Amino acid sequence: MNLAIFLCLFFIGGGTLFPQESLASTLSTYQQNFIRADLADKVNRLQDAAKDPRADEFMGEFYDFALQFTLYYAQILSHDIEMSRLVEVAAQGIEKTGHTVSVGTLMQLLSQYTDTLTAVALINALATVGKGQTRVHELLNSSLSAHNAALKAGREPDTTLVLTCINALVRLGDSGSYPVLFSSAVADYPDTIKKAAAAALETIPGNLQQFLIEIIKTKPVAEKRAAFAIGAQSSRLSNSEQGALAESALAISLLPEHEHDSAFADMRYQSIILLIKAKWTSATPLVIEHYHRVLSGYQSGMVDKIRLIEAISALGAMKSTEASQELVLELGYLNAQTEARRGFDTALVLAVIQALGTIGDKQAFDQLLYVDYLPYPEALKSAARNALSQLKW
């Protein structure tokens, strides 16, 4: 053989006088070594193969091969520590390689190998390779739902698995997980889990506002209040979305059958605070109804003054003619009481004056002007003059 032919064969062969071993042959060799190895040594066979210079080309398939092995013997070895360790390592390998072909095997294994470490590895792998697959979303939704049901039945939850499910659902990013995540957020879990579930609702794309409003409209009061609280604290919902949420909560809370229910009363007051923040003017009729109810309760000694001040501020935030009319009538009443020397509450008078200034409706002119002629302290007179300057003509 002349030198030219020798060198040609050398370089074509990758630096040897023999052709490079085929990828299929390499994988087959590793698979054979895996099968021949003792159970305790099979993890080592996986780890050795992962060090191969061409591992990126075949390790996904090799990890899947190992998982198929563990699935075949699941009925008799699912509680064996070494077998569980093999499942864990192979599942972690699937997560790393993103071998999507393994989805079905991972799903089957999750029902067979239930110890925490193994299940965590399987769930994390599914969160990586199962994105966009409805069957994976449904399985993990069902898994989290089962944990919620077990907790409700009085069984001690595996908090590690619960958190893993929640984080996996975040990674999958499907709004179909909203219901089970909400259930987790309101269940009697430790705060870490409830906060993680609520944060997941914030993260997963979808119409969160509509989901929360539907709960407020249809679910028991405890869930209504929880849905409202999540929406009120949300950094994801815009002011207008929070305003619509508060309007729904206020409408439900004002229903006659809920009038004497303290839970609904609390949600009603919280709704008013959120409406003030959101300046959601479409809620004007409901805010007026709430104001009348609070005013009546205050006059009968059943409602604290702070609630009346909030109701007055909410009328101001509505910036509507109808709200202005209510406030003008109230200031007229307060002025008449003051003129008759029947006393006045400085905080209440100030709240009405400031609310009228916020609205800026010119129909308030006469009553605001009259404040300066009554025996109010200078602070109230100054507030009235400031409100007059804000009227729009």
**pLDDT tens, position by position, 175-200:** 999 999 999 999 999 999 999 999 99
Query: Residue written as tokens 């949420």?
Result: 245
> Cβ distance 170 to 180 under 8 Å?
no
- Contacts of range 336-342, beta carbons closer than 8 Å, 24 or more positions apart: 338/374, 338/375, 338/376, 339/374, 341/375
Q: Residues 213-226: what's their mean pLDDT?
A: 96
Residue 269: name the closest of 301, 225, 227, 320 by CA.
Answer: 225
Name the H helices within 204-304.
Answer: 208-218, 221-233, 239-253, 262-278, 284-299
Residue 289: name the closest of 331, 318, 328 by CA.
Answer: 318
Over residues 144-167, the pLDDT tens digits come to: 999 999 999 999 999 999 999 999
Over residues 44-98, the pLDDT tens digits come to: 999 999 999 999 999 999 999 999 999 999 999 999 999 999 999 999 999 999 9
Cβ-based neighbour number of residue 93 at 10 Å: 25
- CA–CA distance, 351 with 312 (Å, rounded to integer): 7
> Cβ distance 63 to 31 under 8 Å?
no
Residue 393 has pLDDT above 90, yes or no: no
Residue 150: name the closest of 176, 184, 197 by CA.
Answer: 184
Q: Return the pLDDT at 21.
A: 61
DSSP string across 60-90: HHHHHHHHHHHHHTHHHHTT-HHHHHHHHHH
- Compute the mean pLDDT over every residue in the chain, rounded to the nearest whole number: 93
- CA–CA distance, 28 with 30 (Å, rounded to integer): 5
Output the six-digit token pair for 332: 């007229």
Q: Return the pLDDT at 71.
A: 96
Q: Return the pLDDT at 159.
A: 96
- C-alpha torsion angle, residues 250, 251, 253, 256 (rounded to 10): 150
User: What 3-state DSSP class applies to 361?
Assistant: strand
